[in-house]
A and B are shown apart, each in its own frame.
Chain A
Amino acid sequence: MIQAHELTKWYGPNLAIDRLSFEIPRGQIVGFLGPNGAGKTTTLRILTGYLPPTAGTAQVAGFDVLAQAREARQKIGYLPEHTPLYPEMRVEEYLHFRGQVFNMDRRLRKARIDVVVDRCGLQPVRRRLIGRLSKGNRQRVGLAQALLHDPPLLILDEPTAGLDPNQITEIRNLFAELRGQHTILLSTHILPEVEKTADRVMIIAGGRIVANGSLAELRQKMQAGAKVLVELAADPAAVQKALASLPGVAEVTVDGREGWCQAVVQPKGMDDLRQAIGQAAANNRWAIRELRAEHASLESYFIRITAQQNQAIEAA
């Protein structure tokens, strides 16, 4: 659905994105993550044809976003950051306007407006002025206009920013309903949201893609090199000494309490130390109450990988 090749964008002397290449297959929900200023919005704006890249090409549904801009834009439903709308218009009036801009005839427009109003939960406010709507409802109007012409690709820039947890859940349910019908490229800061909705994650930092894969692939990467937590009935000093002497251990932190001591073992590389630690406990005849690899969240992975990229940029 999306093919980006070596996309580069300079704003004057500042490099916003640096030779981004990626492909997004049809029907997937892709979480597009990155810290502020990483180049997410620039990438989305290039894909929607709002900004031209300084170098590189991008295709949406087989159409070049620059050379075949109109055809490409017809295939995209776009919700920009901050959901800009026309406050003086009524919800239904605005949706009619958007439908006309997308060349929908009156009958199709009316039918689709009924569908998106229903799907986005706008029925109670469909005749209200947009300027008088709550932030949540405005966000729904933004989503409704993106869905209106039934595009195969939805590009949503921070669709849940500023919403309360109930509203976020509603939007997440909406994505679940849309799964399979549209390809969705979803930029967000809310990582649990991505874990719950996305099939795939792309992480951008310093203008470069630093991770790109399915959630299962990323989970494997997240687990690799994870810290191991172990709780033993033993003297803390002995535990410290025994675990620190194991091959592949970078650091051991021991905290003793009530006859039990808890140790956190950090591996040097990407090794899984659980087996070696279990073996050491057996050799020393220490009772084990707990032995587990620390659960690595997408959040900690995101922090680790973006920090690495920032360090690499600073070093360069």
Chain B
Amino acid sequence: MHTALVIAKRELTCQLYSSIGYVVLALFALGTGLLFFGLQFQRGAEATMRSTFTGIVWLLIFLAPAISMRLLSDEFRSGSIETLMTAPVSDGQIIVGKWLGAMGYFVMLMLPVAVLIGVLEACGDPDYGPLSSGLLGLLLVGGFYLAIGTFASALSENQIIAFLLTIFIISFFTFVLYSLPNASFIPNAWREGISYAYVNQQFDDFGKGLIALRSVIFFLSGIALFLFLAAQVLESRRWR
């Protein structure tokens, strides 16, 4: 774990050095601010951030791939992966370290959300239960999307391909699984199973203030699955 944390620290530092890191931060702050002040910050409205959190989940479809696209692609392009993979480090440690570094940056992205919670506190009496569960839900969704991004980044030396591939896979868990249960050719017995893998539905409970075990299991197993696949892809590079 120590080595994974070392790699995570370097990755986080690298995100903070890169211009794209600040572009993502600015876009996220702008998007979150627009969602909050446009949808929720109205006289007499409930002091909650539920709609903002739901909007952020949609924003993450594009922002998470921007964070994760360079994680491994850039190492492949520059050749620095060779110095990493010839150090006494396992492929799993490299993958977990990269993902943790991206998660660290994602947590920093949440700072504007903390500011907005401060605004709510100043102007009303927010219920911290749904706020905390919503933040936890965002972390889980972000972690899931970044794990998908880590996997996609392990597949290509090209950051743009990694970016687009991540959006493509995330779209499956959002747009496709949203519309699929309504399709006439889907047997009734399958509809519930398909809905279970629909990310936004899994997040809904968190926004309401509920921490459902099945949702937590969904996100954690999704993260584990994509990190495992990423480690397998990295391992397979040695054998090509």
Which residues 54-84 in B have Cβ within 8 Å of A in the complex?
A: 78-84
* Interface membership of B107, Cβ < 8 A: no
Q: A81 — which chain B residues lie within 8 A by C-beta?
A: 79
Q: B185 — which chain A residues lie within 8 A by C-beta?
A: none
A78 CA / B85 CA spacing, docked (Å): 11
Partner of B14, one of A11, A51, A86: A86
- Closest B residue to A131 by beta carbon equals B17
Q: A102 — which chain B residues lie within 8 A by C-beta?
A: 87-88
- Closest B residue to A101 by beta carbon equals B87
Q: A86 — which chain B residues lie within 8 A by C-beta?
A: 10, 14, 80
Least CB distance, B1 to chain A, in whole angstroms: 12
Partner of B3, one of A50, A93, A101, A145: A101
Q: Do residues B88 and A88 form an inter-chain contact, with CB atoms below 8 A? A: no
* Interface membership of A89, Cβ < 8 A: yes
Q: B3 — which chain A residues lie within 8 A by C-beta?
A: 100-101, 103
Partner of A73, one of B13, B88, B238: B88
- Closest B residue to A74 by beta carbon equals B88
* Interface membership of B89, Cβ < 8 A: yes
A268 CA / B97 CA spacing, docked (Å): 64
Digitize B75-109: 1 where CB-to-A-CB distance is under 8 Å, 0 elsewhere.
00011111111111110000000000000000000
* Interface membership of A49, Cβ < 8 A: yes
Q: Do residues A80 and B79 form an inter-chain contact, with CB atoms below 8 A? A: yes
Question: How many contacting A-B pairs (Cβ < 8 A)?
Answer: 68
Q: Considering residues A71, A100, A102, which has the most beta carbons from chain B within 10 angstroms of its beta carbon?
A: A100
Least CB distance, A12 to chain B, in whole angstroms: 9
* Interface membership of B188, Cβ < 8 A: no
Least CB distance, A79 to chain B, in whole angstroms: 8
Digitize B143-180: 1 where CB-to-A-CB distance is under 8 Å, 0 elsewhere.
00000000000000000000000000000000000000
* Interface membership of A292, Cβ < 8 A: no
Least CB distance, A107 to chain B, in whole angstroms: 16
Least CB distance, A141 to chain B, in whole angstroms: 11
Q: B13 — which chain A residues lie within 8 A by C-beta?
A: 88-89, 93
Number of B interface residues in the complex (CB < 8 A): 25
A11 CA / B239 CA spacing, docked (Å): 9
A49 CA / B238 CA spacing, docked (Å): 9
Least CB distance, B96 to chain A, in whole angstroms: 14
Number of A interface residues in the complex (CB < 8 A): 30
* Interface membership of A221, Cβ < 8 A: no
Q: Do residues A88 and B86 form an inter-chain contact, with CB atoms below 8 A? A: no
* Interface membership of B6, Cβ < 8 A: yes
Q: B182 — which chain A residues lie within 8 A by C-beta?
A: none
The verdict on A97 contacting B6 (CB below 8 Å), with A74-B88, A80-B83, A102-B88 known, is yes
A102 CA / B83 CA spacing, docked (Å): 11
The verdict on A101 contacting B80 (CB below 8 Å), with A52-B238, A52-B239, A88-B17 known, is no
* Interface membership of A304, Cβ < 8 A: no
Digitize A37-67: 1 where CB-to-B-CB distance is under 8 Å, 0 elsewhere.
0000000010011111000000000000000
* Interface membership of A26, Cβ < 8 A: no
Q: Considering residues B7, B78, B86, which has the most beta carbons from chain A within 10 angstroms of its beta carbon?
A: B86
* Interface membership of B184, Cβ < 8 A: no
Digitize B1-36: 1 where CB-to-A-CB distance is under 8 Å, 0 elsewhere.
011001100100110011000000000000000000
Q: A71 — which chain B residues lie within 8 A by C-beta?
A: 88
Least CB distance, B10 to chain A, in whole angstroms: 5
Q: Do residues B238 and A101 form an inter-chain contact, with CB atoms below 8 A? A: no
A82 CA / B94 CA spacing, docked (Å): 22
Q: Do residues B86 and A97 form an inter-chain contact, with CB atoms below 8 A? A: no
A70 CA / B3 CA spacing, docked (Å): 13
Q: Do residues A84 and B86 form an inter-chain contact, with CB atoms below 8 A? A: no
Least CB distance, A122 to chain B, in whole angstroms: 17
Partner of B79, one of A52, A70, A82, A101: A82
Between-chain CB contacts (< 8 Å), 30 pairs: A11-B240, A49-B85, A49-B86, A50-B86, A50-B238, A52-B238, A69-B88, A71-B88, A73-B86, A80-B82, A80-B86, A82-B79, A84-B79, A84-B80, A84-B81, A86-B14, A88-B13, A88-B14, A88-B18, A89-B10, A89-B17, A93-B13, A97-B10, A98-B83, A98-B87, A101-B87, A102-B87, A102-B88, A103-B2, A103-B88
Q: Which 3 A-B pairs have the closest CB atoms?
A: A84-B79, A84-B80, A88-B17
